[in-house]
Structure 1
Amino acid sequence: MKKYGAVRLGGAFFLVMALFSMTMVSCQEKDEDRVKPKTITDVILENEQFSILRDVVLYTGMKDALRTTELTFFAPSNAAFLRANILGSSAITALPKDSAMLFLKSHLVGANALEFKQLAAGKLKSLAGREIFITKIDSTVSVNAAKIIIHDVNADNGVIHVIDNVVVPLR
């Protein structure tokens, strides 16, 4: 009788240890299970209000740069392009690629992500080498007279501020 009691106790111990081990293994997070943060490229490519900008990003080949570099992007929405009389992406993709890239880089500030509260009145230098003028009136912040209408869209590699006009006119 004692022999069977020891077997039952050993079997119960083994069963408890097996369940504990399975629980620990099943709770481990795998890389494919993790939700990866979206990059600036992901936000632009996935959002319909940026369809014109998406075409410009793809045309210029800046897709990878907008995934890896820490940036602040003053991103014009489709409405902003229309306000600047740019009726579609073909107006920009018809330009030579270096001109389209200069236009796009005029909306980007590198080296760090500037949140809305960090934007101070003054000048910033765009990736195109042009000066961007920041003005603040009460709670309204403008970038070269384009108002920031949605701020602090966080991405894995920076921040996007949606603006209501383009930063530089299309030439």
Structure 2
Amino acid sequence: MNDHTNQETQHHGDKPVKRREMSRRQFLSYTLGGAGAFMGAGMLVPMVRFAVDPVLQPKSQAEWVKVVEESKVTNEPKSFKFQVHQVDGWYESSPELEAWIAKGPDGKIFALNPTCKHLGCTVNWNGSPQFQNQYYCPCHGAHYTIDGKALAVAPLPLDEYEVKIENGFVYVGQLGPNKRV
């Protein structure tokens, strides 16, 4: 008897064990695929980091911006424009913003953002003859008190800038929710 028949008779009804071997083609496919994936990840990780890095940076507080002399601020709100320097990711710009600045009944100076809280149009002081001594939004008829409290249409009061007085000048800072109403 030859060896092949001897092995079959020894296992006596058991299925013969097959050894699974990797072919040369499979080895090269796995090796080249793994190396390609490693190099691809090596190129992709810096690109993802570059795109995501600005999002991970802590947000800085707004800097104080000199807007107007304190002597020019009256009890009636006046519009003053000012520029801020801002960085959005890698884009730097200096947009011109606007604030309505006035003295309250307590004598303290406050500044309101003129963006309507309804749909983002710009409000004006005494912008409508129908609503005297109020901020009025021409887009949808929202109107606000001198302190920025919403009287109609808008769901929230006008936002308020932080204000400080230094060396006879009014400075505005971070924009936030209205604390006057």
Question: What TM-score results when the alignment is normalised by the length of structure 2?
Answer: 0.28
Which of the pair is proportionally richer in helix?
A: 1
| Higher normalized contact order (CA 8 Å, seq sep 6+, divided by chain length) | 1
Greater Rg over alpha carbons, structure? 2
Which of the pair is proportionally richer in strand?
A: 2
